[in-house]
Every structure is written in structure tokens, then in C-alpha cells.
A and B are shown apart, each in its own frame.
Chain A
Amino acid sequence: MSVMTMVKAINNALEIKLKEDEHIVVYGEDVGVEGGVFRVTEGLQKKYGTERVFDSPLAESGIVGTALGMAVSGLRPVVELQFEGFTFPAFNQILSNVARIQNRSRGKYKAPMVIRFPYGGGVNALEHHSDSPEALFAHIPGLKVVIPSTPHDAKGLMIAALESNDPIIFMEPKRIYRAIKQEVPDEKYTLPLDKARVVQEGSDITLVAFGAMIRECQKAIVMAEEAGISVELIDLRSIYPIDRETIRTSVRKTGRMIVVAEAHESFSVGSELIAIANEEAFLYLEAPPRRVGGFDTIVPLAQGEPYYIISPDRIFYEIEKTIHF
């Protein structure tokens, strides 16, 4: 075991797989010499050489489009897009080709590749650096969308992603890149790419969240427990495929559900979860399932962001409202 941040845990996962599988190549903007703007790939070029870990020209469509070419011809590329706000030049390649090549070729070609990028707010950043576009990717057939919330999960999910034969969108909550330190096994392990994790069990209400919101929910749960409310917390881990089973079991037990997510509320992952709660647990519900999400607005710059970002007391406020519905 070693104490790791999420940055270190992902770096460790990449290192384990680079060592084990010569088909893995890692590239993107600044990932080589600099080790990425968040240092996720730090030291990898030195160890594995410029042919396997390298800086590419600054063009996201080119990064993803060439990665698909590599993936269909025997490699397993891992590409970094520098921020979620810069994924959109690559969106056409992702939607039109990466997600579709397997179906288009009837399985003759697969796209074993990982597209990873930091996402989410709360870091006082410039525009295009605070968004949560997971629903945009989760809506595309052919992709799997994964979001870790701890260093331990980040490592296990990343290794699983690097061994998957399907293209994986791996979204990294930049706000907790270094905020959480955790004991992480040094050896290789994987976590399933379609299973949520019950972070803590409870009986009165189910909170569903992922990424940086898990930690905020945990803070809210402390407040709820003081008020005598027992909360079950589910970390989704995989946005798509979504773990319907875990949601069903939990909501049938508690009868109440709140989804906490940074993304704009309308047409969000929360909307999907509410649909699932209705389909799977309608007769068990004691209160309407709710979303606590970002507004349907542009994420404000630093001075306005406190309005937008979801705080623990806002989550607690929503828990109380739902309990007393």
C-alpha cells in the first residue's frame, strides 16, 4: 500500500499498463516532457520513451482521430484532452467514428482506447475549465463513461479501462485531483466498469452522486446524521452503462432519492436516474426524487461560481426538504 492522490493513482495505473502491455501508447498536449498540465503522466516519457509517451500537435480532433486509427490497427492508445471544455473539437470524431467503428464494421474493428480529461468546477478557473459534460458523452451509443471519486477507484477503473475492448471516456474530477489522499494497493487491480459503489448504507434517503460531489455529499451526511437522518450514499462510478440494479435496491429500501451532480440540471444524469427510480421503484417512493444540480446556465467565473457550485449545506437543505415532503 502507498498513500496516493488521484493524480498519482492514475499515473500508477498508466505505468502498470505501460510496463505490461507494449500496445499502450500515451499522448496528447503537454503529456510528454511536462507530464501533463496536472502531472498525471509525469515521469512516464522518461521511463517508456518518446515513441510510447509523447506530445502531439495541438489539435483535439487530430488526437482522437489518430488514436482511433491506432486502435483499429492493433494499439491501445490513451489520449489526454487537456480540459473538458476542449473536448468539443474532438466531439465529431468521438461521436461519428470512435463510438461507431465497431458497429459500422460489424465487429471487424474495435476501438480499444481511453480518452481521458479533467472536468468539473470549484477551482476558480477560466471559462471552459469548469464544466461537467458527462451527459453529452453518456448519450452516445458505443461509449462507456467512467468517473472516479477516490484515488483507489481511479486506479482500478483506469486499469479496467485500459483492458477494455470498448472506447472509454474517462473523466477526472480535477477539484479532487490532489484533495484526497488514500492508501492504495501497489499491485494491479481492476474494478468493474458497470457497477456503482454503495459508499455508506442508510435507511431514510438515497443520495446518488459521482466524482467530486461524493466528498460534498459526505459532508452533508454528517449534518444529516446530526439531525437524525440516515442516508445511503451511492457513487455511480460508471455513468454509462448505468447500474440500474444498485439504484433499484437502494431506492426501494429508502423510498427517497436525491441526485447530486455539478452538471446543468436539465437533461442530466440526474434526469436519467429519476427515470430509473420511477421505472424501478415507483410504488416504494415516499417523496418525489429530486435533482440537486448546476443551473441551466454557463458556469460563472470565480466570483459567481459559489452560487453555482453545490455546497454541503445545500445538499443537507435538499435532504431535509425531501424527508419532510
Chain B
Amino acid sequence: MTQDDLPAIFRDFNPLDDKILQIIDREGKLIRKDLMPELDDATIIDAYRQMLYERTADEMAVSYQRQGRMYTFTPNLGQEAIHIAAGMNIRHEDWLVPAFREMGTLLSKGVTMKEMFLFYLGNEWGGSFQNAHHTLPIAISIGTQLQHATGVGYSVKYRRKDETVFTFIGDGGTSEGDFSEALNFAGVWQVPVIFTIQNNQYAISVPVQKQTNSINLAVKSVAFGIPGIKVDGNDFFAMYLAYKTAAEHARSGRGPILIEALTYRLGAHTTSDDPSKYRKKEEEQLWGKSDPLIRLKRYMQDAGIWSIDEEQLREQYKAEIDREFTEAENEKSYPLEDVFTHIYSDMPDELRRQKSEYEQFLSWKEKRG
């Protein structure tokens, strides 16, 4: 691909120069009016509402876990602008191949909080996202999902479908071999895949400086011959523009794209993690000021389109989310059948035997009282 074929922002924000795409600054002030995507007020308000919903759901999930009502959870706090911007550009027919910290994007594909909760309550049905079209389950084995995304891309291209693949990885994941292999295959095959690196600065406790000697993560695209861009991941408008441009590029048959979304994991890696062991409060506070919700809200206030009663909306979301959690919490049924049924299309005799022997044990146990 020559430079001329690249969308303008991919030329202007060349990762080799370590430039970063930003449209509103850390105070929410519009600094690149020329790049501002054309969004009507209602859409911007809707974006804020979605980010607030994800934020509220996330905080409540952490709180349920703390109350001992839910198992390990992976917080999304501080990364909502990426998730919602992606979600607003992903269509029903598009594919979502997630890692595990993209809750807002999953919700936009039709995943419900009840399903998310059910998953973190330890039930595979929750994580299977039955009703979310073209949405793969959460991938916990770091980086492996990118290969699946490239394969889905090949399949889409082979079947001549107008479908785009959105996939995610973290900064730590870029050190995995699968990251490089997936981008390399995608480049060779020229498949319609949008790769997002959520660079939230930490892989559990290890800072991104210990992952790579590259000047940034977007620059890794250069070696694979695919366009890449570093974007302010806490700037909703920059993320929206990046996804809109990337989607147009992929949808016009011009191949894959790599987006590095520079952000900060304001929460812990998981609810089992304690960030105070490896990072300073001051650093968290500094990034806290770049909170994507605060920035978008300030912009909206400056632009005179802030019309949200945030407290009231939060309460409304809390009630909705709590209803979904209660439903998930009450869904206690996990029949033995579920352990065995989905390993193969037809249950092999060995599994039938193991299941039946266990059932005999259960009836022995029941008789024994």
C-alpha cells in the first residue's frame, strides 16, 4: 500500500513520528475542529449515556464482587471512550472478537449485563453471548483471539460478505507471538480486520516500557505493511474518528488496520489485583484527570449541549443493572448435563460412561442421605 492510498489521518499521524490523534484536549477543549467528526447533538448525548452506563455497570460489578456475591471480574474503568466509539461503528453484521476488557463494545453488540454477570458468577452460558450476533466469547488466553479475527476476516473475504471484524488486545498482549502472527497473516491476506491495542499502560503490574523498546505500539503495524495510528483513547471524538476511518478503509476492501488507543486502566487488573503494590497514587490521580467521561462532559458543557441529569440517570441505570444482576444471581441452575454436552457435537461413549458413573454415585449419595 502506498502512502497515497492511506486515509489522511493515517498519513498525518504517522506512528513512526510518534504522533497522537487527539481532537479534544485533557480539559475537553476542542483543539482540532478540522478533524471533528460530524455527529449531531443527540448522538453525542447518546455516546455519553452509553459510557455512563458502562461505567455504572462496571462499578457495580466490582461492588458485587467485593460483597462476595460474584467471582473475579475485570474492570473496564477509564477505557469507556474506546469501547463506545468502537460500538458505535460496529454494525449488526460485523464481527466482534473480544479480549476481556471491552464490556461497552460487547453491550453494543447486544450482550446484556445479565449475561456478563452470569459469566462472572461462573456460568458458561453467560459468556457464550447467545443473542449477540457475530460475537465470539471472551478470550482469556492472551493474544490468541487476534488469530481468530484474522481467520474470520479470511472467511468474510472468501464468502464475499460485507462484514468487518473488530478485535482487541492489551499492551502486554503485543509481546505475544500470536499478535505478530495475526497481523502478519492479516497483512498478507489483506483481510477486513480492525485491530485495537488498548494500551492501558499495564499488563497486571508490568508497565508498557518493559514490554517493548518500540517508540509506541502503533508503530508495530509498519513491519507488517498495514496502516497504524496512535490515538488518544480517552478522547471519544478521536476514537470515533479512528474507527470511522478504519471501518471505511476495511469496508472498501483495502485490508486491515491497527489502532493503538492510549489510555489508562484506572481500576485494578482484576478484582484479585492490588495496583497500590506497583504504581503511585499520584500517577493514578494524574490519569484520573484525563477521565474520558469528564473530558466528554466538559466538551458538551462548553458546546452547550449538556442536558443530562447525571445523578438521576445513574440511579436509573443502577436500578436496571441491579435487576439484571439479581436475575443472574437467581439463575442457580447448572445441570450436570451442561458439563458434558458441549465438548463434542455428539457425546462420545467415554463421556457417556463417565457421566453415567457419576450419576450412579449421585443416586448412591442421595439414598445414603
Residues of chain A having any CB pair with chain B under 8 Å:
25, 51, 56-57, 59, 61-62, 64-75, 77, 89, 92-93, 96-97, 101-110, 141-142, 144, 164-166, 194, 240-242, 244-245
Q: Which of B130, B134, B151 has the most CB of A within 10 A?
A: B151
- Interface readout for B145-159 with A: 1 if CB under 8 Å, 0 if not? 011111111111011
Interface size on B, residues (CB 8 A): 44
Q: Which of B137, B141, B147, B156 has the most CB of A within 10 A?
A: B147
Indicate if the CB atoms of B182 and A97 lie closer than 8 Å.
no
Indicate if the CB atoms of A61 and B177 lie closer than 8 Å.
yes
Residues of chain A contacted by B177 (CB below 8 angstroms): 59, 61, 89
Indicate if the CB atoms of A69 and B144 lie closer than 8 Å.
no
Given A56-B185, A75-B155, A92-B141, also A69-B148 (CB < 8 A)? yes
Residues of chain A contacted by B137 (CB below 8 angstroms): 101, 104-105, 109
Give A141's nearest chain B residue, CB to CB. Answer: B343
A65's partner among B144, B188, B353 (CB-CB below 8 A) is B144
Taking the complex as formed, is B364 at the interface, i.e. its CB lies under 8 A from any CB of chain A?
A: no
Indicate if the CB atoms of A104 and B185 lie closer than 8 Å.
no
Give A279's nearest chain B residue, CB to CB. Answer: B353
Within the complex, the shortest CB–CB distance from B168 to chain A, in Å, comes to 14
Measured in the bound complex, the distance between the Cα atoms of B123 and A103 in whole Å is 11
What are 6 A-B contacts with C-beta separation under 8 Å? A97-B139, A102-B345, A105-B128, A109-B137, A166-B345, A241-B349
Indicate if the CB atoms of B136 and A110 lie closer than 8 Å.
no
Contacting residues of chain B (172-229) with chain A, CB-CB under 8 angstroms: 177-178, 181-182, 184-185, 188
Residues of chain A contacted by B136 (CB below 8 angstroms): 72, 101, 105, 109
Given contacts A93-B147, A96-B144, A102-B344, 15 further A-B contacts (CB under 8 A): A57-B185, A61-B181, A62-B182, A65-B150, A66-B151, A69-B97, A69-B148, A93-B178, A104-B128, A104-B137, A105-B136, A106-B128, A108-B128, A165-B345, A241-B350
Measured in the bound complex, the distance between the Cα atoms of B348 and A148 in whole Å is 19
Indicate if the CB atoms of A70 and B181 lie closer than 8 Å.
no
Measured in the bound complex, the distance between the Cα atoms of B348 and A244 in whole Å is 11
Indicate if the CB atoms of A69 and B152 lie closer than 8 Å.
yes
Residues of chain B having any CB pair with chain A under 8 Å:
95, 97, 124-125, 127-130, 134, 136-137, 139, 141, 144, 146-156, 158-159, 177-178, 181-182, 184-185, 188, 338, 341-345, 348-350, 353
Residues of chain A contacted by B185 (CB below 8 angstroms): 56-57, 59, 62, 66
Within the complex, the shortest CB–CB distance from B331 to chain A, in Å, comes to 14
Give A67's nearest chain B residue, CB to CB. Answer: B151
Measured in the bound complex, the distance between the Cα atoms of B172 and A119 in whole Å is 35
Measured in the bound complex, the distance between the Cα atoms of B340 and A142 in whole Å is 10
Give A59's nearest chain B residue, CB to CB. Answer: B181
A-B CB proximity, top 6 nearest: A69-B151, A65-B147, A66-B151, A241-B348, A62-B181, A69-B148
Residues of chain B contacted by A107 (CB below 8 angstroms): 128, 341-342
Indicate if the CB atoms of A73 and B95 lie closer than 8 Å.
yes
Indicate if the CB atoms of B342 and A25 lie closer than 8 Å.
no
Within the complex, the shortest CB–CB distance from B88 to chain A, in Å, comes to 23
Within the complex, the shortest CB–CB distance from B209 to chain A, in Å, comes to 26
Q: Which of A66, A77, A241 has the most CB of B within 10 A?
A: A66
Indicate if the CB atoms of A70 and B184 lie closer than 8 Å.
no
Measured in the bound complex, the distance between the Cα atoms of B137 and A74 in whole Å is 16
